[in-house]
Amino acid sequence: MGDILAFAEQKDGEIRGVAAEVVSVAASRAGELGGQAHAVVLGGAGIGEGADGLGAYGAEIVRVAESDSLVTYNPEVYATVVAEIARSGNYDAVLFPATALCKDLAPRVAALLDSALASDITQLEVDEGKLVAVRPVYGGKAFARIRFQCSPAVMSLRPNVFGVVESPASGVVEVVTPSIEDSGRSRVIEFQASRSGSVDVSEASIVVSGGRGMRGAEHWVLLEALRDALGPDAALGASRAVVDAGWRPHGEQVGQTGKTVAPKLYFAIGISGAIQHLAGMRTAQTIVAVNKDADAPIFGVADYGIVGDVFEVLPRLTQEISDSRSE
């Protein structure tokens, strides 16, 4: 008892970076429970190559399911396979990253296991031999502590909150042959890549978000320049007002009705700081705000604030960052 299963998400045949964080959390908490961390990877032929690398983050066993039916995400098929593997291992918990894919997958797995689900958690503790999850509620104004009375408990972890800790383990790869039955009730027709081609805003370690203070879509080149100066781990975000105006795609929206982010560094450019937006980014480690209104609510949560015209501040800020990175 005490073993925890971590779902390692893959995309286009490559295990995603968020997998390391989920596996390292599983290893840490399983150790406190006196058990082991195992990982599960689903995909097409060859997905198991390199899966043993998850051992660097604490996975003793990596259970790999390979099938043509698992090349692309199908909610019914994926949920059935993960639930089958979870049952066979008698795990105390099954952990997922709170990505777009797993926000769909985790509830399905919980339902198949007749278990409880805690989504988008920001803390996971062991108290008196039981797992206790903490998640924000009421737009981040309060936190709920959830003690599980069932097994396995199913949870999704907010990306970039827990961090990655290397704790070398065996990483033994076990290839499993799942029983796959496609009901045909749902089928993936196609995937459309985001037009930005950059890292997803919910998983980026740096987020550059713009609001109505940018005054129009044509000025987004200033934010793109800042993102590029910050490096490949940076992504663009936007407020709801910007998305509603059609300036940016919904996939970049940060806030209560968009995506929740927890990057190491968050830039709020021309964003006033409505409570709905704060609900989606207040867990960022460091917040930098630029706004011409000194009384804007965003300054109440910012670690660093610049009161000024974004069209004067942004070019200078971008140049300073570019110069410092080139030294």
- Tens of pLDDT, residues 222-233: 999 999 999 999
pLDDT recorded at residue 182 = 65
Q: Which domains does the chain have, with CATH numbers?
A: 4-176 (3.40.50.620), 206-326 (3.40.50.1220)
Residues making up the chain, counted from first to last = 327
pLDDT recorded at residue 196 = 55
pLDDT recorded at residue 191 = 73
pLDDT recorded at residue 194 = 62
Positions in the chain whose pLDDT score sits under 50: none
What are the tens digits of pLDDT across the range 164-178? 999 999 999 999 988
pLDDT recorded at residue 183 = 60
What are the tens digits of pLDDT across the range 108-124? 999 999 999 999 999 99
pLDDT recorded at residue 312 = 97
